[in-house]
Chains A and B, each alone.
Chain A
Amino acid sequence: DAKTTQPNSMESNEEEPVHLPCNHSTISGTDYIHWYRQLPSQGPEYVIHGLTSNVNNRMASLAIAEDRKSSTLILHRATLRDAAVYYCILRFDSNYQLIWGAGTKLIIKP
């Protein structure tokens, strides 16, 4: 299974943009890139996913490198409620059996 590499933690100021990187150099052509986040004492929550093109939704944007070996989750204007652990995972087919790393703990400073 392809793995992802993320920084252990990142800090950002409230109301500023946040760029969360993810490396996935062994990604295959059929792997989708998914991002989830987990608030303390909660189950993971879907954020966004994409295959090749950049994606936008109401929560975030996903920028995917041309060679697909890395991607960046962009929170355009971070709030205190965005403080969470963010996971980048690769998924093929319809299963969620791929390996989740330890994610990036995002700390938002007021």
Chain B
Amino acid sequence: DTGVSQNPRHKITKRGQNVTFRCDPISEHNRLYWYRQTLGQGPEFLTYFQNEAQLEKSRLLSDRFSAERPKGSFSTLEIQRTEQGDSAMYLCASSSRQENTEAFFGQGTRLTVV
């Protein structure tokens, strides 16, 4: 297993365009998390899946953001009508069903909205 994989690593898009990011978690992990991180700040929680169910969404996740995890495997995060304020690193993490276990993070997708 190569760990959590995120694609693409970098994305440059024009304001108003839609973008979609993909996260492939560690195969046996049933929990998946999305975070956003801006320069000099810690990660901000966006949303959490347990298997295919989206159990928690942050207020940061506006109507332009949507996340899915069909079949409880990979997940996608879509941002519609991107704005310059969406420019950030988008991180995905996964963990097993055990309580208080460590989370494994991907290397992130860096989004730049121009």
Contacts and interface: CB of A to CB of B under 8 A. Distances in A.
Interface of A: 32, 34, 41-46, 49, 87, 91, 93-103
Contact of A103 (B4, B42, B106): B42
Contacts of B35: 96
Interface of B: 4, 31, 33, 35, 40-45, 48, 56, 58, 91, 93, 95, 97, 99-100, 102-108
Main secondary structure of the interface of A (DSSP, over half): loop
Contacts of B56: 95, 97
Contact of A43 (B45, B99, B105): B105
Given A94-B100, A95-B48, A102-B42, A42 B107 contact: yes
Nearest to B108: A43
B107 A102 contact: no
Nearest to B33: A96
B31 A46 contact: no
A1 B93 CA distance: 20
A103 B43 CA distance: 10
A43 B100 contact: no
A97 B34 CA distance: 10
Contacts of B44: 100
A96 B42 contact: no
A42 B4 CA distance: 12
B48 to A, nearest CB: 6
Given A100-B43, A101-B42, A43 B106 contact: yes
A43 B93 contact: yes
Nearest to A103: B42
